[in-house]
Amino acid sequence: MRPLCNIIPLSFSRLFAGRSHRILARRWLRSALCLSIIVPCMASAEPKPEHMVYLRTIDPSIEQDIRYAGAHNFTGHPLDGYGAAQCLLSLGAAKALARVQTALRTQGYGLKVFDCYRPSRAVADMGRFATEPGDPRKAEFYPRVDKQDFWHLGYVARVSNHSKGGTVDLTLTGPEALPAQDWSPSAAQVDCAAPYEQRWHDGAVDMGTGFDCFDDRAHTDSPTINATARDNRQRLSSAMQKEGFSGYSKEWWHFTYTGDDTLKNVMDFPITPLESSATDPQPHAAMAQVLDTSNQLIVVTTKNWTDIQGTAQRYERHGNTFEKYGESFPVVVGQSGLAWGKGLSVVDQREGPVKREGDGKAPAGLFKLGTAFGYDSTAETRLPYLPLTSTTECVDDSNSKRYNELVDGSTIAKDWNSSEHMRRDDDMYRKGIFIKHNTPASPASGSCIFFHIWRAPTSPTLGCTAMDPADISRLFSWLDPRQSPLLVQLPEAEYEHFRESWNLPER
């Protein structure tokens, strides 16, 4: 039986005079019929199948940088179907990946994923990009390749295994990795195959090229990369193969789980945010796994949800436990106290407020730390450092694509109506550190949360955590991104509630 797309009604072809017109008519209608079959399927609200799970619920210690949910990818735009920056995989593939992570952690390494399940509408979006004019990210991702050649070179597939739930793109983190940079569309484009120190720093060790690098040097067995990168690729490949993943010769980052032969169907359900619920498997054990990856910890506690003053204590890991480092020091938090924030924690929120934009509350939970910033051109810190200028802004307009980002307002087109100018007339931001609350950003969930210098020991903030200048200077010199520092910020009662299940240190 012929495929439906090859059946052309004769009555239609007769409307066109001449052989050439009939050929064109057949081609046009064949395409239209195929699209009429495919497009409605892709546009439907397909539900998430039960066998598909969020990786964070299985192993939240695996880092995630889901590139197709944003613009830092070869197309220069978020792909259709990526409504959240989340990795979803089949349950079997997710558990196998967690075993890879456990094995690598014994060697001092870990995983960071760039893409997992990919809706088929996103694959179609890639295909459209490859046929349309424009190359907004060519200089970084495919400087030596014409995008019309993506398919025959093997970098883009018309039907992707990612859409079947068992394929993942990932890299290797480790002690020799340069700290991850915070990307923005204004960032300079550097060739993905440039030397490790020059190209975009994604928080991974040297793998020979960056992710999604359409270049011969990205081929798994490329002879042109250095010995360190070859060793790192081999370490990643070996760990993945032991748990049932097979690699792809054209892309060192691409692996497909072979332990479940039922993963045959292409799916198109959209990726949506992960909501905490009572059905999330072992959320407390998951938080303990996240904390187990950290060697530096800052604990901030307040007396209750509404108190504006608190205490901070630094900790360093020694073996399996955290031990106090230095003396505790006082801090002030939001003028309305604390509220559950959007960070790494997946908690059963027993009681307590939830952080919202403009509520005057500092976020409670477990958070990563981002860029340090300040008024000086350089700083004594191992954190990535941003010198503030008169045009540096932090966007707090939920409707902006730059919501919750530090940007240079003089270099990009403004789509926001509200922001905070970072170069102030006082010393509050002379030294500061970005707290990764609501990153990636969800509208109205709160923005521009920092450690910074206080006005006074009894003067609260609008939602940040502030301290004496000497104390933030100590954080600048102490924090090391290679030690995966984390912030735990909670009311005392909540801290005690979660302390044992999260493996938190005694205060």
Would you call 474 exposed, middle or buried from its count of C-beta atoms within 10 A (0-12, 13-18, 19+)? middle
- Phi and psi torsions of 124, nearest 5°: -65, -35
Q: What is the pLDDT of residue 183?
A: 87
Q: What is the pLDDT of residue 20?
A: 40
Q: What is the pLDDT of residue 64?
A: 93
Known catalytic residue at 251 = yes
* Helices assigned H by DSSP within 245-300: 283-292
In whole angstroms, what separates CA 474 from the centre of its chain?
28
Q: What mean pLDDT do residues 247-255 have?
A: 96
Model confidence at 32, pLDDT cuts 50, 70, 90, reads very low
The number of beta carbons lying within 10 Å of the beta carbon of residue 94 is: 26
* Helices assigned H by DSSP within 181-249: 227-242
User: For 344-388, how does the pLDDT look when each residue is reduced to its tens digit (9 = 90+)?
Assistant: 875 555 578 999 999 999 999 999 998 999 999 999 999 999 999
Determine the Cα–Cα distance for residues 56 and 66; give it in Å rounded to an integer. Answer: 13
If you count them, how many residues does the chain have? Answer: 507
Q: What mean pLDDT do residues 242-254 have?
A: 96
Comparison of pLDDT for 158 and 271, the residue scoring more? 271
Q: What is the pLDDT of residue 507?
A: 87
Query: Which range, 20-24, 130-134, 156-160, has the best average confidence (pLDDT)?
Result: 130-134
Determine the Cα–Cα distance for residues 333 and 461; give it in Å rounded to an integer. Answer: 6
Q: What mean pLDDT do residues 305-321 have?
A: 95
Catalytic hit among 63, 140, 243, 251: 251
Model confidence at 45, pLDDT cuts 50, 70, 90, reads low
Model confidence at 401, pLDDT cuts 50, 70, 90, reads confident
The percentage of the chain sitting over the pLDDT mark of 90, rounded to a whole number, equals: 68
pTM to 2 decimal places:
0.61
Q: What is the pLDDT of residue 386?
A: 94
Task: Report the b/e string of 322-352 with b at 16+ CB within 10 A.
Answer: beebeeebebbbbbbbbbbbbbbbbbeeeeb
Model confidence at 158, pLDDT cuts 50, 70, 90, reads confident
Determine the Cα–Cα distance for residues 261 and 257; give it in Å rounded to an integer. Answer: 9
The number of beta carbons lying within 10 Å of the beta carbon of residue 261 is: 7
Q: What is the pLDDT of residue 25?
A: 40
Determine the Cα–Cα distance for residues 228 and 256; give it in Å rounded to an integer. Answer: 24
Q: What mean pLDDT do residues 105-124 have?
A: 93
Q: What mean pLDDT do residues 214-237 have?
A: 97
Q: What mean pLDDT do residues 488-504 have?
A: 93
